[in-house]
Amino acid sequence: MELKGFWTADNTVGIRNRVGVISLSVFSNVATQRISNAVEGTIALIHPHGRAEIGVNRERLHHNLIGHALNPNLQSVLLVGYEAKTTERYTQELRARTKKRIESVTVLELGTIDAVRVGTKLALELSSESSEVTREPMDFADLTVGVKCGSSDATSGIASNPAVGVAVDKIVNHGGKAIFSETTEVLGAEHILAKRAINQVVASKIVTAVKNNENLALSLGVDLMGVNPVPDNIEGGISTIEEKSLGAIRKTGTSKIQDVLQLGQLPKSPGLYFLDYPSAAQEVLTALASTGCQVILFSTGLGNPSGTPVCPVIKVTGNERTMKRIPEHIDVDVSEIITLNRTYEEAGDKIFQYLIKVINGKLTKSELLKHNEFSPVPVGL
């Protein structure tokens, strides 16, 4: 079971070696996409934000942009900014925090055409350098795995989530780190997770995170009914947020919970962590990638296609019909838990073996289909 990855200048290890071309603003998206299209080995991170965000939205955008630039799957980064001041601020912060090569180009100074010309030359240099890096041995201790579920149905709670939970236990038992999130989808199950906290302080952080989330919904005058579960969950047989949460937490396995992280904090030691963050799937994938995850396990009853620009996402379904209907969204089929009464241990081992292949270079369906969505400012709960 040998693992091999691409070591970075930060002494972290990526399971992919991409050059990130990161847009800092909606107005630099066009240049970002054109630069990335022009140079092999690069990946574009584009989003409709970066202007006049305030408060928590501004902080989340900042943490997600910085977190992605620091992700070990990126060997180096080209920032494509709109105006000079913000571009300089991000460039300086990153150069202070990483030994990876950070370059930048600014659209308002050069104009889109020349920003693309200058940026393409820089991206070519970066990608040429990163292509020299070869895979070298790594260990589970170098690995952080995100855990997520989305487009859930009733099979998620009884098949794919518990099977992913077995795989998560294996990752933790091998000395790795794992992170789950989606605070809204802990609502109704927080008492179970609190019992798994390493101490009373962490237990209380879990309960408080969920309470704050519930209070936020109430203070906005909204009711989660009709918002979460979402229509596809309801179609799949999930009736309430409690039912969804009780199914969702099964993907976290049985390990002790080491701490509750806020966006911008990285897990320091091995074990399982809870990232307190809103629950929409794409936003959570983005946040997990910003929290150092090199790969994400994603349980989906109905066959969610989402991916990220920097992390491979491994889709697991326990729904036989989904596997037949849209196999191009699914990496691991564990529907035999239902159809043949296979155990969670067998299914969890199948996921774990697949994870090792993906770490060593096998492309996931989300990568093959270029699902490179990046969503750094959540607007929902």
What residues line the site for other proteins (CB under 8 A)?
153-155, 157-158, 187-189, 192, 214, 217-218, 221-225, 234, 236-237, 239-243, 246-247, 301, 319, 321, 338-341
Closer residue to other proteins, CB minimum distance, 145 or 248: 248
CB of 287 to other proteins, least distance (A): 21
Would you say 86 and 304 are in contact if contact means Cβ atoms under 8 Å apart?
Answer: no
Would you say 129 and 76 are in contact if contact means Cβ atoms under 8 Å apart?
Answer: yes
Closer residue to other proteins, CB minimum distance, 153 or 182: 153
- Pairing type for strands 177-180 and 144-149 reads parallel
Tokens of 272: 């399982």
CB of 101 to other proteins, least distance (A): 46
Spatial separation of the C-alpha atoms in residues 157 and 233, rounded to whole Å = 11
Spatial separation of the C-alpha atoms in residues 62 and 65, rounded to whole Å = 5
Closer residue to other proteins, CB minimum distance, 59 or 346: 346
CB of 103 to other proteins, least distance (A): 45
Q: How many CB atoms lie within 10 A of CB 201?
A: 10
Residues 6 or more apart from 91 whose CB is under 8 A from it?
79, 102, 104
Closer residue to other proteins, CB minimum distance, 157 or 312: 157
CB of 184 to other proteins, least distance (A): 8
CB of 349 to other proteins, least distance (A): 22
Q: How many CB atoms lie within 10 A of CB 231?
A: 8
Closer residue to other proteins, CB minimum distance, 104 or 184: 184
CB of 49 to other proteins, least distance (A): 27
Closer residue to other proteins, CB minimum distance, 124 or 192: 192
Closer residue to other proteins, CB minimum distance, 20 or 229: 229
Q: What are phi and psi of 192, to 5 degrees?
A: -75, -45
DSSP 244-286: HHHHHGGGGTTPPEEEEEPTT----SSEEEEE-----HHHHHH
CB of 325 to other proteins, least distance (A): 13
